[in-house]
């Protein structure tokens, strides 16, 4: 995807093995990229794959509404749906995973604003966007809403996107801050 501006800060939440982060690094060579991935084996590959890119910082955590710890499982354990590439962060039994809020991430990484927030976190956007005191610092959100994993995800996200125009590209909903 080509953006109508040149981003300085990109956050890739749900970075998986780093494909989108690496794409962004090539497409926007001046951008600082923070790649967040919750699942351990994906994070190991992400770290290896982005090692040649000094501007990509991998973080092993799940983006969530609050800092702490949740559980990570395949979706079938929670939703009955099986997609072996997708992992689901939730309360209850599973593999413990560190969670970080957007505000914590911004403070920890010393980010005042985010030009592009790419979100592909299997429905956890519902939690991330429910406490959204940070949205004014974001210029563009690219998100896969995943209502099939977490009903109400698209409603939670769209409810905080006043002042953004919306478009759709495949499974990705794109919100641009209006000038």
d(C-alpha 161, C-alpha 143), whole Å:
12
Question: 9-61+102-177 in CATH: which number?
Answer: 3.40.50.150
d(C-alpha 131, C-alpha 99), whole Å:
14
d(C-alpha 127, C-alpha 122), whole Å:
11
Phi, psi angle pair for 114, to nearest 5°: -120, 120
Each residue's pLDDT, cut to its tens digit, for the chain (179 residues) gives 678 889 999 999 999 999 999 999 999 999 999 999 999 889 999 999 999 999 999 999 999 888 888 777 765 544 444 444 456 565 777 788 899 999 999 999 999 999 999 999 876 788 889 878 999 999 999 999 877 777 888 888 999 998 999 999 999 999 999 87
CA 54 from centre of chain: 20
Q: How many Cβ atoms from other residues are within 10 Å of residue 4's Cβ?
A: 6
Does the pTM surpass 0.95? The reply is no
| pLDDT value, residue 79 | 44
**Tokens found for residue 79:** 């939703």
């Amino acid at each position: 995807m080509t953006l109508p501006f040149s981003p300085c800060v990109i956050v890739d939440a749900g970075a998986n093995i780093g494909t989108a982060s690496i794409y962004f690094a090539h497409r926007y060579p001046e951008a600082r990229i923070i790649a967040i991935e919750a699942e351990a084996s994906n994070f190991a590959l992400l770290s290896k794959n982005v090692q040649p890119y000094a501007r990509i910082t991998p973080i092993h955590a799940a983006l969530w509404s609050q800092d702490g710890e949740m559980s990570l499982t395949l979706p079938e354990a929670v939703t009955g749906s099986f997609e072996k590439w997708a992992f689901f962060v939730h309360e209850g039994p599973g593999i413990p995973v560190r969670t970080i809020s957007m505000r914590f991430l911004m403070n920890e990484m010393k980010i005042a604003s985010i030009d592009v927030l790419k979100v592909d976190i299997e429905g956890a956007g519902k939690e991330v966007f429910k406490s959204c005191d940070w949205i004014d610092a974001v210029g563009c959100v690219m998100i896969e809403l995943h209502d099939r994993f977490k009903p109400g995800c698209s409603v939670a996200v769209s409810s905080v996107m006043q002042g953004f125009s919306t478009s759709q590209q495949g499974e990705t909903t794109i919100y641009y801050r209006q000038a």
